[in-house]
Amino acid sequence: MRIGILEAGLVHEGLVDVYGDFPAMFRRWLTPHLPAADFRTWSVIRGEWPDGPRDCDAWVHTGSRFGVYDDEPWIAPLKDFIRAAAEAGVPQLGICFGHQLAAEALGGRAEKSPKGWGAGLHRYRIALDGAEREFPMIVSHQDQVTAVPPGAEVLGGSDHCPFGVLEYRDAPVLTAQFHPEFDRAFSAALIRLRAGSSIPERVAAPALASLAAPPANAEAGRWMAGWLKAKLGG
């Protein structure tokens, strides 16, 4: 299985040497559940693009510090890529910005939320196999999906982000607002870096405290990797 990672964001230069870039985080998260996968990266934020959606068996869309509404030269082409891959039936996973961008590309809407920043560990309620399960997951976002695209089902969300997990019924697309690739150390470092500037202290302090509990990254990895394998016929 060849999985293409489309890098839409860059880890802060003060953190990348310790924690790696976003594609490295995704490889660490998914490899235990997809040990035979061959991961390839294109940094779309730097102008790198695959030839087309069939270059890989599946695609992962990463987070980004940008919003889907920003006037960056790579955002509109990435929306086009999402639509092309959906039409071609190539599975796609979207995380955080990738979740929002897929919603925008496929007929929904994402924007800055009046609820403000979500950071630290949030509790997501997700319907899987006919039963609702709770997933404590790391989040880091101001924007969120506010209008669900046609053909998308809301699998779950949190009190802060009700449309937090979407599965599309007319295309093999699964997206989530949370960050299953983030570990607690990276999330804490990121919150400390942003506290008092982009993240208000009143949000940063409880977000840091929430990281005393572990996220359900492995459980989310088993579920999302299982979804990919099912879409690719095992």
Give CA–CA dist 177/110, Å, rounded. Answer: 11
Using alpha carbons, select from 33, 78, 32 the residue that is nearest to residue 59. Answer: 78
Query: Of 7, 104, 167, 181, which residue is the catalytic one?
Result: 181
Q: Where are the beta strands (DSSP E) in 31-104?
A: 38-42, 58-61, 92-95
Query: Of 56, 96, 122, 161, which residue is the catalytic one?
Result: 96
What is the bridge-based pairing of β-strands 173-176 and 58-61? Answer: unpaired
Query: Of 61, 141, 160, 179, which residue is the catalytic one?
Result: 179
Fold of 2-115+143-183+216-231: Rossmann fold (3.40.50)
Q: What is the residue extent of each domain of the chain?
A: 2-115+143-183+216-231
111 labelled catalytic = no
Read off the pLDDT band of 234 (50, 70, 90): low
61 labelled catalytic = no
pLDDT digits (tens, 9 = 90+) for 66-81: 999 999 999 999 999 9
56 labelled catalytic = no
Read off the pLDDT band of 145 (50, 70, 90): very high
Q: Is the pTM of this model over 0.95?
A: yes
Q: What's the distance, CA 165 to chain centroid?
A: 10
pLDDT digits (tens, 9 = 90+) for 105-126: 999 999 999 999 999 999 999 9
Task: Quote the mean pLDDT of the chain.
Answer: 97
Using alpha carbons, select from 179, 216, 177, 175 the residue that is nearest to residue 93. Answer: 175
Q: For the residues 37-53, what does the mean pLDDT come to?
A: 98
Length of the chain: 234
Q: For the residues 182-199, what does the mean pLDDT come to?
A: 96
